[in-house]
């Protein structure tokens, strides 16, 4: 008896890395799947249908029903067709995992408009495209049968590059921060029909090893016990949990998942304030007092500091 028995899920970018591990665990837990993967390189170039086809076979070998989809999440109409494909093939849709992603790393002063647009299109617009059409389906379904409650599940994928920052990734970081904010807003709008949550994985994938040399060395390391912290298989259980009926009361949350740790993020919030006794500040007075504000704030998290602590 699996935690996702009888469910139907779409997982985007399911051909490799995190998406692959998510698809395989979902299949083990009894979920039928639309395996979406363009089969492109980590920078979004090229296409290869066999990437999705191989995962479909792996899922079928685990006893699940699975079909492949090779479309890009950047296309609004093809995203709708993906939702329709799931419903046509399996009779319904319960779960959407937005995982597809690419990288075009570049320092800001060298980044091209195309490098910015392409990364935002896959991550942020792709998350919108898929969630928008899934949301319409969930809403229509619940309106037809209110006893279903908030049966739908959306799990988005953000990154520390967007929430704590990283060099060379203003495009990727902006998109990933946008996904966290998108999650928060969408969770409010869809709470009658679906939960919307977000994970921030730290795992060894093409995006963190092949495309990001500055993190590659860390990702190969084991902790003191010999545990492979950055194996992407470690992230999938949290995604499967959030996709399950057990997570019906968890909504609008952002979780960092790495190794044997699950951490709850809290977004932009006030950490300290200064006031001027009911009188407007002047620029000169702000200059005198700004350190009161800055020094009282907790120390910002740092991605490489976190990686160092883990290993």
Positions marked active-site: 159, 172, 176
Q: CA angle 242-246-248, nearest 5°?
A: 75
Please say whether the beta carbons of 243 and 9 come within 8 A: yes
Distances from the Cα of 279 to the Cα of 58, 81, 283, angstroms: 67, 57, 13
Block residue for tokens 């902006």: 174
As given in the structure block, the two tokens for residue 31 are: 């979920």
Q: How far is it, in rounded angstroms, from Cα 49 to Cα 286?
A: 58
Q: Where are the beta strands (DSSP E) in the chain?
A: 8-12, 32-36, 66-69, 95-97, 152-157, 194-201, 254-258, 261-265
């Amino acid at each position: 008896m699996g935690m996702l028995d009888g469910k139907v899920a779409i997982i985007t970018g399911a051909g490799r890395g995190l998406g692959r591990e998510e698809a395989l665990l979902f299949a083990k837990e009894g979920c039928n799947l639309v395996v979406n993967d363009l089969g492109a390189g980590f920078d979004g170039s090229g296409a290869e249908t066999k990437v999705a086809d191989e995962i479909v076979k792996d899922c079928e070998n685990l006893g699940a029903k699975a079909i492949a989809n090779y479309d890009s999440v950047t296309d609004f109409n093809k995203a709708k067709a993906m939702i329709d494909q799931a419903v046509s093939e399996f009779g319904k849709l319960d779960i959407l995992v937005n995982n597809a992603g690419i990288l075009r790393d570049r320092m800001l002063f060298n980044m091209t408009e195309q490098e910015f647009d392409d990364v935002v299109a896959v991550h942020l617009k792709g998350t919108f495209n898929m969630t928008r059409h899934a949301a319409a389906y969930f809403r229509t379904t619940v309106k037809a049968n209110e006893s279903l409650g908030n049966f739908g599940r959306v799990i988005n994928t953000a990154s520390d590059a967007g929430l704590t920052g990283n060099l060379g990734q203003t495009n990727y970081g902006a998109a990933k921060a946008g996904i966290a904010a998108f999650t928060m807003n969408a969770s409010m709008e869809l709470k009658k029909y679906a939960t919307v949550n977000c994970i921030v994985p730290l795992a060894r994938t093409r995006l963190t090893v092949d495309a990001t040399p500055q993190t590659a060395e860390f990702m190969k390391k084991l902790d003191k016990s010999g545990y492979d912290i950055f194996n992407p298989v470690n992230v999938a259980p949290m995604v499967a949990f959030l996709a399950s009926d057990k997570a019906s009361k968890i909504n609008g949350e952002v979780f960092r998942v790495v190794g044997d740790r699950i951490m709850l993020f809290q977004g932009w919030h006030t950490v300290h304030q200064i006031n001027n006794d009911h009188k407007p500040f002047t620029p000169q007075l702000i200059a005198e007092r700004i350190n009161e504000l800055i020094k009282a704030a907790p120390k910002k998290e740092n991605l490489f500091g976190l990686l160092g602590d883990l290993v």
